[in-house]
């Protein structure tokens, strides 16, 4: 479905991605893990075309798209739920969903897909006419996913699903995504700081660190690996590593605790 | 009582013209982040074009008007492609200052092409000298047309922005450029359309103002633009309804002040002088901004990066 080969990209003179390669097989749910500043969001932006790729290749649905416009990639079936959701705050929930279907024609099919999104996220139903700015964090994430689904993507990229959300909300949104993946064959690339939850649902996982893929494999193997346990799961396992890594691990644990504690409403 | 009603009526007319201009200013600011100080010059350029069509080849008014409005669309597109697009990523202050340069360029070009507009000339329209009477109230034909145009434009614009896919995409682009790109919205095309639409609004306002004043020169929009900007900022700069209301408020204040100050003097100072009126409006504006920095109707914080 998607293959990234030796992708380099960055901002201004600063290279963030130092030759990233990864593959998302059709029908899979892939987790991409990494600490703050690892380059996860930069990778998402380069994949969708919001950020130009310096070099390397991005193959999507059998085509080279690293030079293609965002619009072209959306039309090919690439959908992104961006970090921070990026809703249209002054537009109503319904209008946000309609904008998600901007590249499509056919009113009836679009209306049917709005119904489909509302079936996935019933909480949005009573909010349809309200501006997106009035939504809670969880509802906002549901709308961001629903909006991305409205373009009928073949591959859905989700950047930081759990950011700022209560654990219960994350669970229920994840359940919807797993169902879409299993029942409708939607391919999903899930970018997460919360490694434990992502590894539980994924069929393949990558770890991005300082702009390079440092680990990849079956989620079960990754979850069991001491390095991952220590770095991303806050486990007890002892690992040999530099002090710097240990410091990273501590701040990561604190970060994820904050996320869990902050809650939503 | 009748005098007050008459003043309120004129205030509504001037106010709707300021509102129309403020609307265009806010539309461009919201979608492209440009505080457009060249907006008055855009209006003046199209109005000058109409003047030349009316006086040079002596075209009848309505065909000349139609040609001028088409010219406004073209001018808006040219300014977007040649001026606004290259500056898209520039800081907001850079863009604002660049529009001052654009205003000078437009004025210079108009003066070079049509030197007769360097000094005040008579702007001929078929409405001049006609008036409507309601009881004791008097409304010139131009003023009546202004109110009618304003109401129609607002309705059409509102329907366009709220009901059409393109209008919705414009609002979405104004909300979040990046998300709009992610939806596959061709944001370049949206910018182009916004400038064309705003240029059309400027042209309509400029032509109506010229028809009211009956005399124009190349700079006739400058004082008007300043008051329209006050209206836009009072409205919060980020809301279209706010812009219209802010503009209307400035127009009403201007006319009511004129009524109150007429015939009064402070020592040797004649308070009926229009300069005093404007000074008072500016003072009130500054005071209001101190009390409500986001304008009267502005909701969200002003941010545009």
Q: Is A245 on the interface with B (CB under 8 A)?
A: no
Instruction: Read off the tokens for B237.
Output: 């700069």
Instruction: Determine, yes or no, domain membership for A210.
Output: yes
Is B182 touching A (CB cutoff 8 A)? yes
Q: Which of B165, B169, B183 faces A74 most closely, judged by CB atoms?
A: B183
Whether residue B137 is predicted with pLDDT greater than 90 in this model: the reply is no
B126's CB contacts (< 8 A; 6+ apart) are B61
Average pLDDT over residues A74-78: 94
Of A50, A88, A151, the CB nearest to B181: A50
With beta carbons less than 8 A apart as the criterion, state whether A53 and A8 touch.
Answer: yes
- pLDDT at site A245: 43
| Overall domain count for chain A | 1
Torsion over CA of B3, B7, B13 and B17, rounded to 10 degrees?
A: 170
State residue A250's pLDDT score.
40
Q: Which of A8-17, A48-57, B263-272 has the lowest mean pLDDT?
A: B263-272
Look up residue A229 and give its DSSP letter.
H
pLDDT band at residue A81, thresholds of 50, 70 and 90?
very high
In a domain, A256, yes or no: no
A28 in Cβ contact with A204 (< 8 Å) = yes
Q: What are the structural domains of chain B?
A: 2-291 (1.10.3470)
Check CB contact under 8 Å for A151 and B183: yes
Q: Residue A56: exposed, middle, or buried by beta-carbon count in 10 A (0-12, 13-18, 19+)?
A: middle
Answer yes or no: are the C-beta atoms of B38 and B100 closer than 8 Å. yes
Residue A229 touches partner B, C-beta closer than 8 Å: no
Q: What residue has token string 């679009």?
A: A110
Short-list A205, A226, A178, A172, CA closest to A31: A205
From the CB of residue A221, how many other CB atoms can be counted at a distance below 10 Å? 13
CB–CB of B42/B76 below 8 Å? yes
Contact residues for A256 (Cβ-Cβ < 8 A; gap 6+): A193, A194, A234
Residue A185 inside a domain? The answer is: yes
Minimal Cβ distance to A91: which of B165, B172, B178 = B172
CA distance A148 to chain B (A): 8
pTM above 0.95, yes or no: no
* Mutation site, B27, B178, B183, B299, interface A, largest A CB count within 10 A: B183
- Which DSSP state fits A92? B
Q: What is the C-alpha separation between B146 and B142, in angstroms, rounded?
A: 6
Cβ distance B172 to A80 less than 8 Å, yes or no, reads no
Give the ipTM: 0.82
Q: Is the pLDDT of residue A98 over 70?
A: yes
B89 in contact with chain A, both atoms CB, cutoff 8 A: no
Optimal mutation site among A99, A110, A153, interface B, most CBs of chain B within 10 A: A99
* A76 contact B CB<8A: no
Instruction: Kindly list the residues from chain A whose CB atom is less than 8 angstroms away from the CB atom of residue B179.
Output: 82, 86-88
Residue A186 lies in a domain: yes
Q: Report the greatest alpha carbon distance in chain B.
A: 66
B184 touching chain A per CB within 8 A: yes
B181 touching A (Cβ < 8 Å):
yes
- CB of A70 within 8 Å of any CB in chain B? yes
Put simply, the answer to whether A86 touches B178 (Cβ < 8 Å) is yes
Q: What pLDDT does B271 receive? A: 77
pLDDT band at B298 (very low <50, low <70, confident <90, very high): low
Identify the DSSP state of A131: B
pLDDT above 90: residue B200: yes
Across all residues in chain B, what is the average pLDDT? 89
CA distance B160 to chain A (A): 14
Q: Is the pLDDT of residue B216 over 70?
A: yes
pLDDT tens digits for range A41-58: 999 999 999 999 999 999
A29-33 vs A187-192, strand pairing mode: parallel
Average pLDDT over residues B62-69: 96
CA atoms of B228 and A133, how far apart (whole Å):
29
- d(Cα B286, Cα B290) in Å, to the nearest integer? 6
Residues 6+ apart with CB under 8 A from B281: B227, B230, B250, B253, B254, B257
CATH code, A191: 3.40.50.300
Interchain CB distance below 8 Å, B171 and A50: no
Q: What angle do CA A29, A105, A182 make, to 5 degrees?
A: 20
CB within 8 Å of A81: residues ≥ 6 apart = A141, A144, A145, A148, A156, A157, A158, A159, A161
User: Tokens standing for B269?
Assistant: 């100072």
Helix axes B187-213, B141-163, angle to 10 degrees: 170
The beta-strand segments (E) located in A76-234 are: 78-81, 155-159, 187-192, 204-209, 212-217
Q: Looking at residues A241-249, what average pLDDT do you find?
A: 42
Residue A102, domain member (yes or no): yes
Let me know if residue A33 belongs to a domain.
yes
For residue A86, report the phi and psi dihedrals to the nearest 5 degrees.
Answer: 50, 50
Confirm or reject contact between A41 and chain B (CB < 8 A). no
More confident call, A246 vs B161: B161
Q: Is residue A249 part of a domain?
A: no
pLDDT exceeding 90 applies to what percent of chain A?
67
| Positive or negative: CA dihedral A189, A193, A197, A202 | positive
What is residue B301's predicted lDDT score, i.e. its pLDDT? 46
The tens digit of pLDDT for each residue in A119-177 reads 999 999 999 999 999 999 999 999 999 999 999 999 999 998 888 888 899 999 999 99
Helices (H), B141-238: 141-163, 165-175, 177-182, 187-213, 222-234
Q: Is the pLDDT of residue B300 over 70?
A: no
Q: Does A128 touch chain B (CB under 8 A)?
A: no
Mean pLDDT of B125-135: 86
Cβ atoms of A48 and A23 within 8 Å: the answer is: no
pLDDT beyond 80 at A253:
no
- Nearest CA of chain A to the CA of B149: how many Å? 27
Average pLDDT over residues B172-186: 93
Query: What is the share, in percent, of chain A residues with pLDDT greater than 70?
Result: 86
Span B82-91, average pLDDT: 90
pLDDT at A193 over 70: yes
Chain A interface, best mutation among B175, B178, B239, by max A CB count within 10 A = B175
The residue of chain A with its CA nearest to that of B30 is A90
Q: Please state the rounded mean pLDDT for residues A206-227.
A: 86
Residue A8 has phi, psi (to 5 degrees) of: -120, 135
Residue A263 has pLDDT above 60, yes or no: no
- Burial status of residue A129 (CB atoms within 10 A of its CB: 0-12, 13-18, 19 or more): exposed
Of B172, B178, B184, the CB nearest to A50: B178
Of B266 and B152, which is predicted with more confidence?
B152
Structure tokens at B150: 């304003």
Contact between chains at B168 and A86 (C-beta distance less than 8 A): no
C-beta of residue A58 within 8 angstroms of C-beta of residue A65: yes
Q: What pLDDT is attached to residue B299? A: 54
State the CB neighbour count (10 A cutoff) for residue A254: 11
Strand partners, B137: B134
The reported pLDDT for the residue numbered A107 is: 92
Q: Which residue, A194, A223, A235, is CA-closest to A40?
A: A194
Q: Could you tell me if residue A254 is inside a domain?
A: no
Q: Which residue of B has its CA nearest to A105?
A: B165
Q: In which domain, by residue range, is A47 found?
A: 2-222
What is the helix, strand, coil percentage profile of chain A, to 5? 45, 25, 30
Whole-angstrom distance, CA of residue B217 vs CA of residue B121: 6
Helix (H) or strand (E) segment spanning residue A60: strand A55-60
pLDDT of residue A231: 66
Cβ–Cβ < 8 Å for A81, A145? yes
């Amino acid at each position: 479905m998607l293959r990234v080969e030796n992708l380099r990209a960055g901002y201004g003179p600063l290279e963030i991605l130092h030759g990233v390669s990864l593959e998302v097989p059709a029908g899979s749910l892939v987790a991409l893990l990494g600490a703050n500043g690892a380059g996860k969001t930069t990778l998402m932006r380069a994949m969708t075309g919001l950020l130009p790729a310096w070099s390397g290749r991005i193959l999507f649905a059998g085509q080279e798209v690293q030079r293609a416009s965002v619009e072209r990639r959306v039309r090919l079936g690439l959908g992104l739920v961006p970090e921070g959701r990026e809703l249209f705050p002054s537009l109503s929930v319904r209008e946000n969903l309609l904008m998600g279907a901007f590249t499509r024609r056919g009113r009836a099919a679009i209306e049917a897909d709005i119904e489909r999104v509302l079936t996935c996220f019933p909480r949005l139903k009573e909010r349809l006419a309200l501006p997106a700015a009035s939504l809670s964090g969880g509802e906002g994430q549901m709308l961001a996913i629903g909006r991305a689904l409205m373009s009928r993507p073949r591959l859905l990229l989700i950047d930081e699903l759990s950011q700022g959300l209560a654990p219960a909300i994350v669970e229920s949104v994840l359940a919807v995504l797993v169902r879409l993946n299993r029942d409708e064959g939607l391919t999903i690339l899930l970018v997460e700081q919360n490694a434990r939850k992502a590894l539980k649902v994924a069929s393949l996982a990558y770890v991005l660190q300082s702009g390079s893929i440092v680990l990849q494999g079956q989620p079960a193997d990754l979850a069991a690996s001491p390095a991952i346990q220590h770095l991303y799961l806050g486990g007890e396992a002892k690992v040999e590593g530099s002090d710097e890594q240990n410091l990273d691990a501590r701040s990561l644990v604190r970060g994820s605790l904050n996320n869990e504690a902050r809650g939503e409403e | 009582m009748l005098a007050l009603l008459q003043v309120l009526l004129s205030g509504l007319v001037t106010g709707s013209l300021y509102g129309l201009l403020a609307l265009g200013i806010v539309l461009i600011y919201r979608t492209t982040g440009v505080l457009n100080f060249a907006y008055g010059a855009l209006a003046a350029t199209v109005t000058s074009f109409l003047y030349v069509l009316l006086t040079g080849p002596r075209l009848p008014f309505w065909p000349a008007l139609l040609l001028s409005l088409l010219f406004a669309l073209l001018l808006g597109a040219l300014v977007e492609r040649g001026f606004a697009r290259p500056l898209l990523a520039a800081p907001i202050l850079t863009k604002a200052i660049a529009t001052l340069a654009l205003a000078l360029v437009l004025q210079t070009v108009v003066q070079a092409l049509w030197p007769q507009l360097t000094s005040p000339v008579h702007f001929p329209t078929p409405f001049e000298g006609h008036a409507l009477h309601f009881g004791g109230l008097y409304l010139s034909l131009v003023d009546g047309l202004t109110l009618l145009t304003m109401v129609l434009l607002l309705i059409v614009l509102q329907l366009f922005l709220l009901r059409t896919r393109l209008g919705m995409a414009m609002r979405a682009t104004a909300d979040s450029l990046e998300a709009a790109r992610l939806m596959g919205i061709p944001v370049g095309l949206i910018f182009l359309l916004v400038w064309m639409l705003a240029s059309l609004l400027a042209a309509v306002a400029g032509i109506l103002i010229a028809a009211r004043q009956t005399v124009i020169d190349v700079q006739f929009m400058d004082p008007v633009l300043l008051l329209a900007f006050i209206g836009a900022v009072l409205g919060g700069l980020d809301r279209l309804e706010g812009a219209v209301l802010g503009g209307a408020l400035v127009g009403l204040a201007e006319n009511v002040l004129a009524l109150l100050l007429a015939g009064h003097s402070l020592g040797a100072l004649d308070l009926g002088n229009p300069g005093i009126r404007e000074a008072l409006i500016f003072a009130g504006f500054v005071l209001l901004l101190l009390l409500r920095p986001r304008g009267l109707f502005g909701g969200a914080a002003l941010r545009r990066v």
